[in-house]
């Protein structure tokens, strides 16, 4: 525990979330080794801090540490940047140049956004990892290097492998020790600690009193999805510190700085591997609801077609005219009027000679309320895992703390 606190203080890591502490602990344990590490997590979660932790607590701490943003280097020059080039190897190569793997010999290289590397460069990187050998661009001479590689990515690398954008053998070579950095929205009260730290820092920087949040504003911070994670939280705290004259911030003021604030967080929907992607969970839920409505309309049309073909005979009486008309109210066709009653026979009789239809089923308009769907999903998860909240929270993709709050809010019996 003492080492954990020392690391947090040394590198300015704030928070007590269990997933964050676990990531720091893994980094400290793997640091003395030379194993490759793959750090994953969303953009803005602070992945760049963990390679520094690993390097500083390793036997290479006195060697070079080089951080390379693979996504920021043009594809045509990335090989030259990483492995160097010989004079005249390409247009503009007026002299020989050392690459990062040669400069960092005996040290550590951090490859940020490694999934952005071209496939040809991935082959070169795999060779360095397996044999410690590389060749400069335009050279046939093999050179040796002793470099530890730490990589990071904010994309789903297995998905990139399926799409042919990343080599599977390189993934397993880099992923010797995986470290997952949790998203800010999953870290609970860590959000308040981070906001207070940023507010104090900006107050000192701009020589003004620090901003504070009332209780409603704190709840808003907790319920926001934070697509930009810690980076977004820091930017918002700086904006508020500079722009707002009042030092106590309420929910109405804070909402002006939170784009697309949707209120209480819903259970996360797990996206399947298909060709469609959605900008947000809310967009996905809207699509599901519209698809459900479309399915209802299709069902209505199917029943109506059966009636028109004579597979189902229906008599419109005073007792059933209301429900029947409601059933077909939104369909593209309408129920036959009195002029067509010759084709309509008594009381939902079925022509067994045509089709053996055993039952008719009452169609009930399904609720399209997002809150109702949320309660339904929580109940299903709790039922599936026999009331075990930890497993149910994992199934829903939310923290156990958030699930407990939802159960209490909706009065769900678990």
Q: What is the per-residue DSSP string for 146-165?
A: --EEEEEESS-HHHHHHTTS
Domain boundaries, position 73: 2-182
Q: Tell me whether strands 65-69 and 312-313 are parallel, antiparallel or unpaired.
A: unpaired
Q: Tell me whether strands 312-313 and 349-350 are parallel, antiparallel or unpaired.
A: antiparallel
pLDDT at 357: 46
Identify whether 281 is part of a domain: no
Helix H or strand E encompassing 229: helix 229-243
Cβ neighbour number for residue 30 with a 10 Å cutoff: 20
- Calpha distance 237→241 (Å, rounded): 6
Question: How does the average pLDDT of the chain come out, rounded?
Answer: 82
Q: Based on the domain organization, do 23 and 156 belong to the same domain?
A: yes
Identify whether 194 is part of a domain: yes
How many domains would you assign to the chain? Answer: 3
Q: Worst-scoring range by mean pLDDT, 83-97, 101-115, 118-132, 328-342?
A: 328-342
pLDDT at 328: 52
Mean pLDDT within 114-124: 95
Mean pLDDT within 10-39: 95
Q: Based on the domain organization, do 150 and 65 belong to the same domain?
A: yes
Identify whether 364 is part of a domain: no
- Position 188 pLDDT exceeds 80: yes
Question: At 129, is the pLDDT very low, low, confident or very high (cuts 50, 70, 90)?
Answer: very high
Which range, 25-29, 286-290, 306-310, is most confident? 25-29
Phi first, then psi, for residue 265 (nearest 5°) are -70, 140
CATH number of residue 48's parent domain: 3.40.50.300
Identify whether 104 is part of a domain: yes
Choose the final residue of a domain: 182, 207, 225: 182
pLDDT at 411: 81
Mean pLDDT within 321-348: 48
Q: Based on the domain organization, do 196 and 72 belong to the same domain?
A: no
Q: Based on the domain organization, do 191 and 170 belong to the same domain?
A: no
DSSP letter, residue 115:
G
Q: Based on the domain organization, do 25 and 173 belong to the same domain?
A: yes
- Position 327 pLDDT exceeds 60: no
Q: Based on the domain organization, do 94 and 203 belong to the same domain?
A: no
Choose the final residue of a domain: 182, 213, 243: 182
Choose the final residue of a domain: 213, 232, 255: 255
Q: Based on the domain organization, do 246 and 130 belong to the same domain?
A: no
Q: Based on the domain organization, do 219 and 173 belong to the same domain?
A: no
pLDDT at 274: 44
- Position 6 pLDDT exceeds 60: yes
Of residues 9, 108, 5, the one with CA closest to residue 52 = 108
Strand partners, 152: 39
Cβ 240 vs Cβ 249: under 8 Å: yes
pLDDT at 400: 82
Between residues 302 and 79, which one has the greater pLDDT?
A: 79
Q: Based on the domain organization, do 176 and 190 belong to the same domain?
A: no
- Position 181 pLDDT exceeds 50: yes
- Calpha distance 109→82 (Å, rounded): 10
CATH number of residue 375's parent domain: 1.10.10
In terms of pTM, does the model score above 0.75?
no
Cβ neighbour number for residue 313 with a 10 Å cutoff: 15
Cβ 170 vs Cβ 161: under 8 Å: no
Cβ 369 vs Cβ 404: under 8 Å: no
- Calpha distance 221→187 (Å, rounded): 11
Identify whether 19 is part of a domain: yes
Ordered alpha helix ranges (H), 244-336: 251-255, 281-309, 321-327
Q: Tell me whether strands 177-180 and 37-40 are parallel, antiparallel or unpaired.
A: parallel
- Quick one: angle between helices 281-309 and 370-384, nearest 10? 90
Q: Based on the domain organization, do 235 and 138 belong to the same domain?
A: no
Identify whether 273 is part of a domain: no
Identify whether 44 is part of a domain: yes
Query: 328: which 2 tokens?
Result: 């077909």
Between residues 294 and 28, which one has the greater pLDDT?
A: 28
Helices (H) and strands (E) in the chain, counts: 17, 11
Please tell me whether residue 134 adopts helix, strand or coil conformation: strand
Q: Based on the domain organization, do 9 and 99 belong to the same domain?
A: yes
Q: Based on the domain organization, do 7 and 124 belong to the same domain?
A: yes
CATH number of residue 211's parent domain: 1.10.8.60
Identify whether 353 is part of a domain: no
Query: 359: which 2 tokens?
Result: 């039952």
Q: Phi-psi category of 102—alpha, beta or left, where left has phi over 0 and alpha has psi -120 to 50?
A: alpha
């Amino acid at each position: 525990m003492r080492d954990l606190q020392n690391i947090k203080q040394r590198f300015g890591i704030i928070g007590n979330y269990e997933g964050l502490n676990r990531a720091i602990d893994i980094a400290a344990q793997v640091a003395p080794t030379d194993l490759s590490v793959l750090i994953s997590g969303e953009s803005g979660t602070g992945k760049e801090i963990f390679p520094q932790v690993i390097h500083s607590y390793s036997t290479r701490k006195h060697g070079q540490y080089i951080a390379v943003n693979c996504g920021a280097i043009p594809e045509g020059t990335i090989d030259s940047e990483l492995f160097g080039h010989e004079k005249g190897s390409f247009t503009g190569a007026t002299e020989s140049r050392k690459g990062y793997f040669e400069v960092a010999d005996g040290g550590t290289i951090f490859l940020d956004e490694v999934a952005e590397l071209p496939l040809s460069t991935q082959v070169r990187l795999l060779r360095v990892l397996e044999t410690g050998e590389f060749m400069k661009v335009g050279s046939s001479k093999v050179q040796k290097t002793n470099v530890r590689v730490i990589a990071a990515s904010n994309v789903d690398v297995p998905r990139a492998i399926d799409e042919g954008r990343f080599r599977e053998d390189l993934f397993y070579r880099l992923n010797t020790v995986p470290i997952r950095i949790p998203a800010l929205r999953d870290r609970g009260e860590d959000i308040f600690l981070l906001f207070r730290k940023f507010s104090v820092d900006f107050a000192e920087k701009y020589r003004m009193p620090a901003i504070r949040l009332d209780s409603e504003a704190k709840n808003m911070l907790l319920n926001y999805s934070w697509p930009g994670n810690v980076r977004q939280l820091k930017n918002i705290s700086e904006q508020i510190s500079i722009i707002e004259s009042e030092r106590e911030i309420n929910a109405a003021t804070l909402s002006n700085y939170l784009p697309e604030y949707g209120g209480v967080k819903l259970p996360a929907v797990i996206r399947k591997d298909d060709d469609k992607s959605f900008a947000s969970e809310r967009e996905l839920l809207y699509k599901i609801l519209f698809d459900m409505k479309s399915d209802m309309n299709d069902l209505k049309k199917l029943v109506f077609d059966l009636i028109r073909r004579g597979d189902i005979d229906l008599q419109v009486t005073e007792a059933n005219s209301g429900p029947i008309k409601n059933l077909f109210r939104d369909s593209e066709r309408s129920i036959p009027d009195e002029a067509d009653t010759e084709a309509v026979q008594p009381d939902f009789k079925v022509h067994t000679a045509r089709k053996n239809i055993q039952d008719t089923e009452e169609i009930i308009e399904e609720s399209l309320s997002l809150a109702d769907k949320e309660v339904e999903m929580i109940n299903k998860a709790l039922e599936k895992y026999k009331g075990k909240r930890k497993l149910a929270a994992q199934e829903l993709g939310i923290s156990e703390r958030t699930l407990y709050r939802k159960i209490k809010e909706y009065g769900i019996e678990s």
